Structure 1
Amino acid sequence: MNIHSITIEVADNEDVAATEHFYQDAFGLDDRIRVGVSSTSTSGFRGFAPSLIFTQPADVDVLFHKAISGGAEVLKPVAKSLWGYGGSLRAADGTVWQIASASKTGDGRPTGTIEKLVLLLGVEDVKASKRFYEEQGVKVSKSYGSKYVEFDSGRIALALYKSANLAKQVGVPPEGRGHTVSP
Structure 2
Amino acid sequence: MDTTTDTKPAGRLSSVTLEVADVEEARRFYAAFGVDTRIRLRAREAQDTGFRGFTLALTVSGPATVDGFVAAAVGAGATVLKPAAKSLWGYSGVVQAPDGTIWKIATSSKKDTGPATREIDEFILLIGVQNVKATKQFYVDRGLAVGKSFGGKYAEFLPGDSSAVKLALYKRRALAKDLGVPDSAAGPHRIVLGGASGAFTDPDGFAWEPAESAGRA
Which bin holds the TM-score, normalised by the shorter protein? over 0.9
Deviations 1:122-146 (A, max 9, x none): 0000010001001111001111111
Larger radius of gyration: 2
Which residue among 141, 154, 163 is the counterpart of 2:147?
Answer: 141
Asked if 1:17 corresponds to 2:24, the answer is yes
Determine helix, strand or coil for the equivalent of 2:121: strand
> What one-letter code is carried by the residue in structure 2 that aligns with 1:180?
R
8 Å contact kept, 2:17–2:40 = yes
Distance 2:60 2:184 in 1: 29
Distance 1:80 1:19 in 2: 29
* Identity between Structure 1 and Structure 2 (%): 46
Asked if 1:102 corresponds to 2:111, the answer is no
- Listed as ranges, the matches of 1:22-171 within 5 Å are 22-26=29-33, 28-38=34-44, 41-154=47-160, 155-171=164-180
Which residue among 1, 12, 20 is the counterpart of 1:2?
Answer: 12
The TM-score, its normalising length taken from structure 2, stands at: 0.79
Determine helix, strand or coil for the equivalent of 1:22: helix
Q: Which has the higher strand share?
A: 1
Deviations 1:76-121 (A, max 9, x none): 0100001110011111000111110111112251122100010000
> What one-letter code is carried by the residue in structure 1 that aligns with 2:84?
V
| Equivalent residues, number | 179
Q: Which has the higher helix share?
A: 1
8 Å contact kept, 1:5–1:31 = no
Offset of residue 42 of structure 1: 2.6
> What one-letter code is carried by the residue in structure 2 that aligns with 1:78?
A
Give runs of ≥4 in structure 1 deviating > 3 Å. none
Determine helix, strand or coil for the equivalent of 1:133: helix
8 Å contact kept, 1:20–1:34 = no
Deviations 1:34-79 (A, max 9, x none): 1112366532000110001101211100011111111100000100
Name the stretch that deviates more: 37-46 or 53-62. Answer: 37-46
Any unmatched runs of 5+ in structure 1? none
Any unmatched runs of 5+ in structure 2? 1-10, 194-217
The TM-score, its normalising length taken from structure 1, stands at: 0.93
Distance 1:100 1:52 in 2: 6
